[in-house]
Amino acid sequence: MQMLMPMQLHSSGRLLQTALLLVATLLPAAPATAANTSLPFAAFDDLLLQNVRNGFVDYDGLAADPRLAETISHVATANAAVLDGSDSGLAFYINAYNALAIQGILNGLSPSSWWGRQKFFKRQKFRVLGEQVSLATIEHERISVYGDARIHFALACAALSCPRLSSRAYQPEQINLQLHDAARRFINDPTRNRFDFERRIAFVSTIFEWHLADFEQAAGSLQKYLARFVDNAETQEALRAGEFEIRYEEYDWSLNGRYSRADK
């Protein structure tokens, strides 16, 4: 076996170092860390599972849980890469809205009065992807642009008549199924919508009045949209035929859970 002299070893080492440097420059850059590019869905998911039961929110439990602060921090500082792909972007913004609505209650605000709603939805600002925005901006300028009317059943605005806050975070890979389930649960919830088949009167949430154009655009009419999700087959058929009179129910802005500091 031929032995290399010190000069040869030094030269060989420099060649190897140069070769490795060349390979490194040709390889694609390593992806950014998850903390910079994605919302921690797992942490928010665990948080909701522990503190939300059938839409009833334990705000005291949420206030004491450090995972809420973690979620709020990631919403504020996440990289714009979280919006890559419509499913990822929609999941990010729905989770962000629901987490920030919770934080709004913990901040001492409430949508229970007209002025309270102005402050809660419009005047209160949160940092999202480095930008100061309100809940109204998130809903109307970030989420609505995705063009899916089902989002109106996924945004939990902290009041009893709002859609029930899901016990699970929205996930990009499951969001179509999750939105379908949210729409079906909301429309078939008798505390929010009632269908009197005999009198052909539908007593429905004011959400359908506020966002009527979205539902009409999606299905041609509100009744046809409701028919997509109503469980009862006879009611479905009558809605498709436009046989119901629509009446909008009064909205209950009472808190959708328990918070010991809500009245203090």
For residue range 45-80, what is the model confidence (pLDDT) as tens digits? 999 999 999 999 999 999 999 999 999 999 999 988
Residue written as token pair 């998850």: 34
State the pLDDT at residue 28.
39
Q: Which of 106, 42, 50 is nearest to 71 (CA)?
A: 42
Residue 17, pLDDT above cutoff 60: no
**Which pLDDT does position 263 carry in this prediction?**
56
Cβ(240)–Cβ(195) under 8 Å?
Answer: no
What is the rounded radius of gyration, in angstroms, for the C-alpha atoms of the chain? 25
Residues 68 and 59 sit within 8 Å (Cβ to Cβ): no
* pLDDT tens digit sequence for 84-94: 888 999 999 99
Entry pTM: 0.84
Residue 199: pLDDT band (50, 70, 90) is very high
* Percent of residues, the chain, with pLDDT higher than 90: 79
Compute how many other C-beta atoms are within 10 angstroms of the C-beta atom of residue 155. Answer: 20
The pLDDT of residue 117 is above 90: yes
- Distance CA(187)–CA(110), nearest Å, equals 25
Task: Reduce the DSSP state of residue 166 to 3 states and report it.
Answer: coil
Residues with Cβ within 8 Å of 72's Cβ and at least 6 positions away in sequence, in order, are 99, 100, 103, 126
Domain ranges across the chain: 34-188, 193-248
Q: How far apart are CA 129 and CA 15, in angstroms?
A: 45
So what's the pLDDT on residue 4?
43
The per-residue pLDDT for range 144-168, each reduced to its tens digit, is 999 999 999 999 999 999 999 999 9
Cα end-to-end distance, the chain, whole Å = 86
Q: How much is the pLDDT for 39?
A: 53
